[in-house]
Amino acid sequence: MSKGVLVDVTRCIACRSCMVSCKSWNDLPSIPGGFQNNWDAPGKMDANNWTVVNNYMIEDGDDIKWRFVKKQCMHCLEPACESACFTHSFVKTKEGAVIYKPTTLNQDYCVGCRYCMIACPFGVPSFQWDKAFPYVLKCRFCYDRMKEEGLEPACVTSCPTQTLKFGDREELLAEAWDRINKNPNYVKRVYGEKEYGGTSWLYISDVPFDKIGFRTEAYGKPVTERSIPSLTWDVLKWTPAIFFGWGALLTAMRAYTKRRAEVHDESEMYAPVDPKE
């Protein structure tokens, strides 16, 4: 069964326990920058910070709301990073985690071209810019814990407010809608249900998603619900047909026009130039 996590934004108190436990479980160095006690500057995920909690102040007249949002890889159902990679260095496991094979499975095929970073619609994969042989790193859904020890992700275990709930994605989705339907404060949307083909991590919130750093529309249109791999495949699937069709057409044209063309001795036509100055 494919796993997921339900993130209930209304419950998060920004204690950042998840950030700490992610770091300690995954042995990520604590480098000043992404991980500091600056509440105004939104933190960014990078190669050493696979998850960040950002704060948002939403003003609605006199009504001011603070909301805190944990972000990490969304673990898409059909991940763009996986389909973009020409060495297949990302893979969606049947457990639901999207993992990077070079570091997680020790299959070092990645060439470091960073097309996965261009492809990810959530801007997740991060590069070790300071390394001579950098890896592309991101949240791996604690695949090792899940797979080998049957444990919940480190961040979920450490969350004191039950903002994060680990479980089967389908069940979590049902629970998400249940919570939304029982409480009119929630926005009627589960972010991650359909966006870009759906994701394993799901979010519910009582403030509009576009106010807390989620893209709900792009250039005036709602974000697409088709998966990115399916879009590229719509174009790529034509490759063999173009290869053979275009090749055959060219061969035919060449044969047809050749009969009418004069014959040239090419070796008589050209000569090295004299570099006169």
In angstroms, what is the minimal distance from the CB of 277 to another protein? 7
Q: Is 150 in the site for another protein (CB under 8 A)?
A: no
Are 212 and 67 in contact, with CB atoms under 8 Å apart?
yes
Footprint of ligand SF4 on 223-262 (CB under 6 A): none
Q: Is 274 in the site for another protein (CB under 8 A)?
A: yes
What amino acid occupies position 96? G
Which of 12, 34, 126, 141 forms a contact with ligand SF4 (CB under 6 A)? 141
Q: Is 197 in the site for ligand SF4 (CB under 6 A)?
A: no
**What does residue 179 show for φ and ψ, rounded to 5 degrees?**
-60, -40
Footprint of another protein on 22-61 (CB under 8 A): 44-46
By a kind-dependent CB cut-off of 5 to 8 A, residue 239 interacts, out of ligand SF4, another protein, none, with another protein
Q: How far apart are CA 69 and CA 52, in angstroms?
A: 8
According to DSSP H, which parts of 16-78 are helical? Answer: 17-26
Q: How far apart are CA 222 and CA 119, in angstroms?
A: 18
Which of 13, 24, 57, 108 forms a contact with another protein (CB under 8 A)? 108
What count of other Cβ atoms lies within 10 Å of the Cβ of residue 181? 10
Q: Is 88 in the site for another protein (CB under 8 A)?
A: yes
Q: Is 154 in the site for ligand SF4 (CB under 6 A)?
A: yes
By a kind-dependent CB cut-off of 5 to 8 A, residue 51 interacts, out of ligand SF4, another protein, none, with ligand SF4
Residues sharing a CB contact under 8 Å with residue 29, sequence separation 6 or more, in sequence order: 48
With b for 16 or more beta-carbon neighbours within 10 A and e for fewer, the 35-69 pattern comes to: beeeeeeebebbbbbbbbbbeeeeeeeeeeeebbb
Distances 4 to 73, 74, 171, 233 between C-alpha atoms, Å: 12, 9, 9, 26
By a kind-dependent CB cut-off of 5 to 8 A, residue 133 interacts, out of ligand SF4, another protein, none, with another protein
Q: Candidates 11-19, 55-63, 127-135, 180-188 — which segment interacts with another protein by CB under 8 A?
A: 127-135
* Secondary structure class of 91 (helix, strand, coil): strand
By a kind-dependent CB cut-off of 5 to 8 A, residue 154 interacts, out of ligand SF4, another protein, none, with ligand SF4
For ligand SF4, the closer of residues 47 and 186 by Cβ is 47
**Helix (H) or strand (E) segment spanning residue 55:** strand 52-60
Number of shown-chain residues binding ligand SF4 (CB under 6 A):
40
Give me the 73-112 binding string for ligand SF4, x by CB under 6 A, dash otherwise: xxxx--xxx--xx-x-xx-------x-----------xxx
- Picking from 205, 209, 227, the residue whose alpha carbon sits closest to that of residue 217 is 209
Footprint of another protein on 173-232 (CB under 8 A): 215, 218-219, 223-224, 228-229, 231-232
Binding site for ligand SF4 (CB under 6 A): 21-22, 25-26, 50-51, 72-76, 79-81, 84-85, 87, 89-90, 98, 110-116, 120, 122, 124-125, 136, 138-142, 153-155
